[in-house]
Amino acid sequence: MLSTREKELIAEIWGRLTPVAEDIGAEALLRMFATEPGSKTYFSHLDISPSSAHLRSHGKKIVLAIAEGAKDISQLAVTLGPLQTLHAYQLRIDPTNFKFFSHCMLVTLAAHMRNDFTPVAHAAMDKYLSAFAAVLAEKFR
C-alpha cells in the first residue's frame, strides 16, 4: 500500500510534529467537532472548548498514537491493538468517526505544514491515515 519512501516520509513528518502534538491534535479535533457535530457526544464528559486542557490532552494522545504507528507501519495492527479494544468495547465509538478525524487531520496538517505538505506528502499521509482509521475500526466487524 505504501512505498518505502512514503513510509519514511510519513515517519519523518510525524517525528517533526510530535513536539506540537497538543496543537495539531486539538485543532484536528475542533475541525471534526465543527464539521461532524455528532462526534461531540463521545466527549460529553470533557471540556472540549478551544484551548481547554481536556481537548489539548486528548489531541496530544491521538497525535502520539498516530506518530507511534508511523514508526513501523507494517506493525500497525499490533501497535493499535489496545486502542482497537478500548474504542470498540469500552468507549463504543462509531467507527465512521475515525474516517472523519483522518480527513480533519489532513486539513490540519496542510494548514500547519504549508509548502512542506507537498502532493506526495499529502497522498502518502492520506493512505496512512486511511489505514490507521481502518485498523482502529477492525474490531467493530
CATH label of the domain that carries residue 130: 1.10.490.10
3-state secondary structure of 80: coil
Percent of the chain scored above 70 by pLDDT? 92
Rounded Cα distance between 57 and 26, Å, is 8
Whole-structure pTM value: 0.88
pLDDT at residue 89 in the model: 56
Print the domain residue range for 25.
4-140
Cite the beta strand spans of 18-93 per DSSP E: none
List the grid coordinates of 107.
486539513
Report the number of distinct structural domains present in the chain.
1
List the grid coordinates of 29.
479535533
Kindly report the average pLDDT of the chain as a whole number: 88
pLDDT at residue 10 in the model: 95
- The answer, yes or no, to whether residue 88 has pLDDT greater than 60, is no
C-alpha angle 19-74-63 in degrees, rounded to nearest 5: 25
Using the CB atoms, write b or e for 23-36: b if 16+ within 10 Å: bbbbbbbbbbbeeb
- The answer, yes or no, to whether residue 40 has pLDDT greater than 90, is no
Of 56-60, 81-85, 93-97, 103-107, least confident by mean pLDDT is 81-85
Q: Please report, for residues 36, 37, 110, 141, the alpha-carbon distance to residue 13 in angstroms, rounded to integers and kept in the order given.
A: 26, 29, 12, 31
pLDDT at residue 90 in the model: 62
Mean pLDDT of 72-98: 73
